[in-house]
Amino acid sequence: MPPLSQGVRSGPLLFTSGQGPLDPTTGEMPADFGAQARQVLANIEAVVAAAGGDRRSIARCTCHLADRAHFAEFNRVYREFFTDCSPLPARTTVVVRPVREGVLVEVDAVAVVG
């Protein structure tokens, strides 16, 4: 387990750590990019929910992709995930080299939960 908190509150704001594509129940990581992106967003949602919010509480996301070629697919998954949110969270997306082998996407978020 890495030395970090999944989320830290400061007043009404929740700052999540970067969430990777591991399923918290099984510890498995999907190989497919779309499945990884969905798992990452589900993990973000779980951290926000544990602090009393939901996906509509998310104000900002920083998205890290391992390959620029996944950008269009990420946009589809992200739009689907936030379909009931208006406005959409502010967002920055960058291409990076992930620390863990096989990770294709990681996202951190800021949510308003109180």
Name the band, by pLDDT with cuts 50, 70 and 90, for residue 2.
confident
pLDDT one-digit tens code per residue, 24-54: 999 999 999 999 999 999 999 999 999 999 9
Instruction: Give the CB-side neighbour count of residue 51, counting CA atoms within 13 A.
Output: 28
Q: Cα 83 to chain center, whole Å?
A: 15
What is the reported pTM? Answer: 0.95
107 contact partners, CB below 8 Å, separation of at least 6: 18, 19, 40, 41, 44, 61, 62, 63, 64
List the structure tokens of 72: 């269009």
How much of the chain, in percent, has pLDDT values that exceed 70?
Answer: 99
Task: Report which of 95, 34, 94, 60 is spatially closest to residue 42, judged by C-alpha positions.
Answer: 34
